[in-house]
């Protein structure tokens, strides 16, 4: 099976061709960072317009790089939820047109299913081993932060064990970077600067660190950093900024790592998987790997290109849907809500 995937849920226009076994034939990502950087965050209207300009060339480039014609694909998969609705609409409408013109099945994919299954995407060197079901996944991105139990590669078999009650972890990285004047997107810069900082020089309390709960919160630590910057920031040097980055990153990744390992132990699974843009963070990858190894768990971390937004994970999740005999029609809509919100275990819910 060979599927064309299209992704336009936020600030990346992406297209990829992926085989049913996860092998990537091509993977093209057009980043809008330069469009949004002057505003310090994603401007939805500008995102939609930029997707509209780039979706055609990006799909053509993906087909060219794979050496594939549309006639050769078995389906067209597209992210249709969750995300910025105006941005999603561009990818969805492009996918409908392409699928209709080529006479191929259209499959809508939940972006979070893409992140949860991104560990199955095969890029070659640097791939993680594919996990065994059931596994526990920490999905940490700019829009979502949650821990899931995944029993099979379908939304009905995914259970949310806990999630952030306010900001996503990536959002906190981006806001802290903005407070420190480090630009957008903040995650990669904080990650880089933290490596040269000393966390113990700046005291921040870890957010919702209580054991036994998989609920999380990242808005309080952002406020702690805002207060710190207002109180002590004036005239501070680059080393102080690096120390704040190190302390913030240690607090956030410490809580994330501990909760996902505790969740895996409680669920009795052997495999722990990371997904989402924040899973590109070096300290998070190291902490979860070390904590997992200490408990005899296998920690499977996809390469960075599979963690941040990409269309290969969407194509792969689309392959899974097509393999189950599922597809969509003209009534496929774009929505800001994930299908996974409904799959909360009773009593362990969010909000």
Could you list the residues that contact Zn ion (CB under 5 A)? 141, 309
Structure tokens at 342: 């409904």
Minimal distance in Å, beta carbon 171 to Zn ion?
Answer: 12
| CB nearer ligand KG4, residue 269 or residue 312 | 312
Instruction: Give the residue from 245, 314, 321, 249 showing the smallest Cα distance to 275.
Output: 314
Is 16 within 8 Å of 338 (Cβ atoms)? no
What separation in angstroms does the CA of 201 have from each of 31, 239, 241, 243, 309?
Answer: 35, 10, 11, 6, 34
- In angstroms, what is the minimal distance from the CB of 37 to ligand KG4? 12
Q: Return the number of the residue (131 or 277) whose C-beta is nearest ligand KG4.
A: 277
- The answer to the question of residue 32 lying near ligand KG4 (CB under 6 A) is no
* Minimum separation from the CB atom of position 234 to ligand KG4 (A): 26
Provide the minimum distance between the beta carbon of 228 and ligand KG4 in the complex, in angstroms, as a whole number.
19
191 touches which of Zn ion, ligand KG4, none (CB within 5 to 8 A by kind)?
Answer: ligand KG4
44 binds ligand KG4 (CB under 6 A): no
* 105 binds ligand KG4 per the rule CB under 6 A: no
Partner from ligand KG4, Zn ion, none contacting 174, C-beta within 5 to 8 A by type: ligand KG4
Question: Residues 170, 248: contact at Cβ < 8 Å?
Answer: no
Among residues 105 and 197, whose Cβ is nearest to ligand KG4? 197
170 vs 197, beta carbon nearer Zn ion: 170
Q: Which of 79, 118, 141, 145 binds ligand KG4 (CB under 6 A)?
A: 141
Q: Which is nearer to Zn ion, 215 or 309 (CB)?
A: 309
3-state secondary structure of 18: strand
Asked whether position 167 contacts ligand KG4 by CB under 6 A, the answer is no
Closest alpha carbon to 118 in 238, 16, 235 = 16
Let me know: does 288 contact 264? Beta carbons within 8 Å.
no
Name the nearest CA neighbour of 148 among 133, 163, 164, 137: 137
User: Taking CB under 6 A as the rule, does residue 308 contact ligand KG4?
Assistant: yes
Q: Which residue number, 7 or 262, has a Cβ lying nearer to Zn ion?
A: 7
189's CB contacts (< 8 A; 6+ apart) are 177, 182, 183
Radius of gyration of the chain (CA): 20
- Interface size with ligand KG4, residues (CB under 6 A): 19
- For ligand KG4, the closer of residues 47 and 73 by Cβ is 47
Nearer to ligand KG4, 251 or 322 (CB): 251
**How many whole angstroms separate alpha carbon 54 and alpha carbon 316?**
22
Asked if 187 touches ligand KG4 (CB under 6 A), the answer is: yes
Distance, in Å, from the CA atom of 280 to the CA atom of 264, rounded to the nearest integer, reads: 20
Choose among ligand KG4, Zn ion, none what residue 185 binds, the Cβ cut-off being 5 to 8 Å by kind: ligand KG4
Q: Are 183 and 37 in contact (CB under 8 A)?
A: yes
Name which position in 7, 167, 191, 215 contacts ligand KG4 (CB under 6 A): 191
Distance in Å, CB of 10 to Zn ion, minimum: 7
> Which of 89, 21, 11, 82 lies closest to 44, judged by CA?
11
Q: Which is nearer to ligand KG4, 224 or 281 (CB)?
A: 281
For 29-32, the CB contacts below 8 A with 24+ separation are: 29/309, 29/310, 29/311, 30/54, 30/57, 30/58
Binding partner at 162 among ligand KG4, Zn ion, none, C-beta below 5 to 8 Å by kind: none
**Residue of the chain from 66, 76, 199, 280 that contacts ligand KG4 (CB under 6 A):** 280
| DSSP 8-state secondary structure symbol assigned to residue 165 | S
**Binding stretches for ligand KG4 (CB under 6 A):** 10, 141-143, 170, 173-174, 185-188, 191, 276-278, 280-281, 308-309
């Amino acid at each position: 099976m060979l599927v064309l995937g299209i992704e336009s849920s936020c600030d990346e226009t992406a297209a990829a061709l992926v085989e049913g076994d996860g092998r990537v034939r091509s993977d093209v990502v057009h980043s809008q960072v330069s469009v949004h950087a002057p505003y310090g965050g994603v401007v939805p209207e500008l995102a939609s317009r930029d997707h509209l300009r780039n979706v055609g060339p990006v799909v053509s480039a993906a087909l060219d790089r794979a050496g594939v014609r549309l006639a050769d694909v078995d389906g067209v998969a597209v992210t249709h939820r969750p995300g910025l609705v105006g941005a999603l609409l561009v990818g969805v409408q492009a996918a409908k047109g392409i699928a209709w013109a080529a006479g191929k099945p259209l499959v809508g994919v939940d972006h979070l299913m893409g992140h949860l299954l991104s560990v199955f995407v095969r890029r070659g060197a640097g791939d993680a081993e594919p996990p065994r079901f059931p596994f526990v996944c920490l999905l940490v991105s700019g829009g979502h932060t949650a821990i899931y139990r995944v029993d099979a590669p379908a939304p009905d078999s995914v259970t949310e064990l806990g999630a952030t009650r306010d900001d996503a972890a990536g959002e906190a990285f981006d806001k802290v970077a903005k407070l420190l004047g480090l630009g957008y997107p903040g995650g990669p810069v904080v990650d880089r600067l933290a490596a040269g900082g000393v966390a113990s020089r700046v005291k921040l309390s870890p957010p919702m660190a209580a054991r036994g709960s998989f609920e999380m919160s990242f808005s309080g630590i952002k406020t702690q950093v805002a207060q710190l910057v207002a109180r002590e920031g004036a005239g501070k040097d680059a080393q102080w900024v690096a120390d704040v980055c190190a302390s913030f990153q240690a607090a956030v990744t410490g809580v994330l790592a501990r909760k996902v390992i505790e969740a895996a132990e409680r669920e009795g699974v052997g495999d722990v998987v990371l997904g989402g843009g924040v899973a590109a963070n070096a300290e998070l990858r190291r902490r979860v790997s070390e904590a997992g190894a200490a408990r005899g768990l296998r920690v499977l971390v996809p390469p960075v290109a599979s963690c941040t937004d990409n269309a290969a994970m969407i194509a792969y999740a689309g392959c899974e849907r097509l393999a189950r005999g599922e597809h969509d029609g003209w009534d496929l809509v774009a929505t800001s809500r994930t299908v996974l919100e409904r799959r909360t275990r009773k009593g362990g819910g969010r909000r």
